[in-house]
Amino acid sequence: MRFLLTLAVVANLALLAYGQGFFGPPPAEQGRTPRPLSQRNQQMLTLAPALPPEFSPQ
């Protein structure tokens, strides 16, 4: 009985690792071609000005 429980836990961990992509691309991502970084929404990125030294954490 203990063997069956161990086998079920190992099988669940293996399926989780497969679904997360530990053994290659995840199944949900197959067939997709990622966009190059230059085609992503760069205009949406905004950078704040640097903090003056009196506000920086020490």
Q: pLDDT at position 34, please? A: 65
pLDDT in tens, the chain (58 residues): 999 999 999 999 999 998 888 887 777 777 777 666 665 666 776 777 877 777 766 6
Q: Three-state SS string across the chain, please?
A: CHHHHHHHHHHHHHHHHHHHCCCCCCHHHCCCCCCCHHHCCHHHCCCCCCCCHHHCCC
